[in-house]
Structure 1
Amino acid sequence: MTALTRAQELSQFWQPICHSYQQGLTVLPPFLGLSAEGFQALCDDFASVGLTVIVDTAQHHSPVRRLRNDLLVMREPELQELLDLLHQHSNPDAHYQQLAATVIAYGCLGSQHLWKDLGLPERPRLSQLFAWYFPALFQRNDRNMRWKRFLYKQLCESGGDYVCRAPSCEQCSTYAECFGPES
């Protein structure tokens, strides 16, 4: 993938995520999982390149988001393993690589396809996000496995506490769930 400017990263990836977050269409916790200061810096970056994103501060403190945040405490070790995996494979030239790792890790804790849990408009946009922020993982997913499943498979293969269901994907009883078309 060719180099992206800060404005391209913001418009291509972060504007749709923030818009969906504002509408309550993501599983992301308050401030997208960032600190309040980190979230404000992202909003300031939007303004600095002439993009607008409006996130009502009440969105960060909605009852649903507070509950999600409380439940995430129980999954802290899992979140940290996902963050470690993503940080190990991040693109140092990307402006928002730390943000991408954090938001994706939190998105993985949702129950739908990762692109939906993040609020992206379609799966190809998520693949573009991986190609830019995590090119080594993008290359490794050469069979186009669904991203959330792919990340957990990587954790399994690295000796994590995640159950690998079969010695190879072709032998797995849920093969079609990982590689089938998304609806």
Structure 2
Amino acid sequence: MTALAPSRELAVDAKTAPTAESIYVSILSEPTSLATAHPFAAHVLACALTMGVMESLETGATISCALGLDRRALNQLTLQWAPAARDLFDLVREPQDCARDEEEEQLHRLLTRFRADPSPLCAWMTAIVARRAMSPRHLWQDLGLLERSELTRLMNEWFPTLAAANTDNMKWKKFFYRKLCELEGFSLCVAPTCGECGDFDNCFGEEHGASALARLTRR
């Protein structure tokens, strides 16, 4: 793919509202050696950054607020993986610390416990997934991914032990909260088994909806 316009114009040109697709393409327009060697990781990070930039343009919120990453993490992530993204937001405006509420902190601890390794990339993925899970849509949509299968791949690559425990392909947000309940020694579910539950589709049904980057799937 080719960048549609210089990255800085996307952030400051009020006459042309950028699309999620154009932001995504701009973010990947200057691939680093890491991004070239690990295209799926670069794609996931670009999707998340796209969601952060879009929410920042729409609401004025910081990228940190959208992704759960403080200024230092955003600086390192963009330097190593997506330098073009630095033209889309003001890094100085990002907070030096990124606070989490109790619910997000619990999920962050769960993901940290099961993450594949202690690398910065895995730490960033942990923070991003935990923060985006606080949003209202399906998790793959809130991460900006193209489809649910990409979220499953993300979980398999960066949280393999946790992913392996989702043997019945439960919706990921539901699965996270089930695991949190199990670790606390209780369950919020009153059904004896999932097969006997009258609300089965709420946990296991299809996750319909469009990706924020829907146009890319048609290329």
> Which residue number in structure 2 is paired with residue 64 of structure 1?
none
> Under a length normalisation based on structure 2, what TM-score does the superposition of the two structures give?
0.64
Structure 1 residue runs of 5 or longer lacking an equivalent are 62-68
Runs of 4+ in structure 1 deviating by more than 6 angstroms, as ranges, are: none
Q: Which of the pair has more CA radius of gyration?
A: 2
Quote the offset at 1:144 in angstroms.
1.1
Question: Which one of 45, 55, 69 corresponds to residue 88 of structure 2?
Answer: 55
Shift in alpha-carbon separation, 1:30–1:52, aligned structure 2, 3 A:
closer
Q: In percent, how many aligned pairs have the same letter?
A: 28
> How many Å separate the matches in 2 of 1:52 and 1:106?
23
The higher relative CO (CA closer than 8 Å, separation ≥ 6) is in: 1
Name whichever of 78-87 and 28-37 sits farther off: 28-37
1:44 aligns with 2:79: yes
SS in 1 for 2:76: helix
> Under a length normalisation based on structure 1, what TM-score does the superposition of the two structures give?
0.76
Question: Which one of 44, 62, 69 corresponds to residue 34 of structure 1?
Answer: 69
- The alignment's C-alpha RMSD in Å is 2.9
1:125 aligns with 2:150: yes
Structure 2 residue runs of 5 or longer lacking an equivalent are 1-32, 209-219
Letter aligned with residue 50 of structure 2: H
Name whichever of 126-135 and 13-22 sits farther off: 13-22
Quote the offset at 1:168 in angstroms.
2.5
Task: Render the CA deviation track for 1:76-128: whole Å, top value 9, x for unaligned.
Answer: 22112111110111101755111111111111111111111122221111111
> Which residue number in structure 1 is paired with residue 47 of structure 2?
16
Quote the offset at 1:133 in angstroms.
0.5
Quote the offset at 1:164 in angstroms.
2.6
> How many Å separate the matches in 2 of 1:107 and 1:165?
28
Aligned length: 163
